[in-house]
Amino acid sequence: MSYLVLLRHGQSVWNAENRFTGWMDVDLSDIGEVEARDAGVLLHRSGIQISAAYTSVLKRAVRTANIVLDTLDICSLNLTKHWRLNERHYGALTGLNKKETADQYGIDQVKIWRRSYDVPPPALEDNDERHPRFNPIYKFLPPDALPSTECLKDVVNRALPFWQDYLARDLLKGKNVLVAAHGNSIRAILKHLENVSDKEITEIDIPTAIPRVYEFNDTLELIKVETLGDAEEIAKKQREVANQAG
């Protein structure tokens, strides 16, 4: 048996300000740090022994992973960072307040940008300083790998190779794997693992810092999916995600 734990990062500063974040590298809020520690406590209580850990290159996910591992008293584990686990790129919406954007463009239009499977938000101009090509952390990636906007379908296409090349490999070796990432990169992996349709995935809300645990047998057949934590608290967090303006 092996286990995969998918964990959205704790609340970020821009989550607290209700802003579209995407590839912008913002930190955890104070609440987000507490959430990450609480996630570590839940994993400790589950008895799952983490033996491999991955995260995006964005600090809110990296810090979440480090806090969880520290809470689990795992100090020697190498944390692997990969851009394929980044949040979806919100294009020209990046940094904008979700409610103000909904007031300007209408709730229905913003919901399409935010929730549809294959309709991306307006793209950034190539000379926009928010474009990832201006961030030195991505200098070793080919230019066509750096998005100016993304829809969820795009995130699925970039996340699946990571599942195949890293996560499936470790699980087949019997490792228990932690992935600390983002709402949409987790939805992309969840869609694949749980065979969720393009339509249904748009209605799934990923709450911050709630571990979702997948149990596999030795041939990587999915045996069980479990969300750790109090059911009422999980439902409350899911409603908060769903009810964000835009």
Name, in order, each residue with C-beta under 8 angstroms of 77's C-beta and a sequence gap of 6 or more: 50, 51, 52, 53, 69
Question: In degrees rounded to 5, what are phi and psi of residue 6?
Answer: -100, 130
Which residue is it, tokens 């912008």? 24
Can you read off the two tokens belonging to residue 68?
């969880």
The CATH number that applies at residue 55 is: 3.40.50.1240
pLDDT for residue 233: 81
Helix extents (H) in 18-119: 30-46, 59-71, 98-105, 107-115
pLDDT of residue 246: 35
What residues act catalytically? 9, 87
For residue 218, the enclosing domain spans 2-242
Q: What is the pLDDT of residue 244?
A: 63
Q: What is the dihedral of CA 62, 68, 74, 76, to 10 degrees?
A: 0
Radius of gyration of the chain (CA): 17
Structure tokens at 214: 């997948």
Q: Contact, 40 vs 55, CB < 8 A?
A: no
> What single letter denotes the amino acid at residue 241?
V
Secondary structure of 113-156 in HEC code, one letter for each residue: HHHCCCCCCCCCCCCCCCCHHHCHHHCCCCHHHCCCCCCHHHHH
Dig out the tokens for 187 from the structure: 């939805």
Number of domains in the chain: 1
**Residue bearing tokens 């007031």:** 103
Question: Residue 243 has what pLDDT?
Answer: 66
**185 within 8 A of 23, measured Cβ to Cβ:** no
pLDDT value of residue 245: 45
Identify whether the C-beta of residue 92 lies closer than 8 Å to the C-beta of residue 64.
Answer: no
Q: Are 152 and 117 in contact (CB under 8 A)?
A: yes
pLDDT tens string for the chain (246 positions)?
A: 999 999 999 999 999 999 999 999 999 999 999 999 999 999 999 999 999 999 999 999 999 999 999 999 998 898 999 999 999 999 999 999 999 999 999 999 998 998 899 999 999 999 999 999 999 999 999 999 999 999 999 999 999 999 999 999 999 999 999 999 999 999 999 999 999 999 999 889 899 999 999 999 999 999 999 999 888 887 888 777 766 643
* pTM for this entry: 0.94
- Give residue for tokens 């694949």: 192
pLDDT at 210: 96
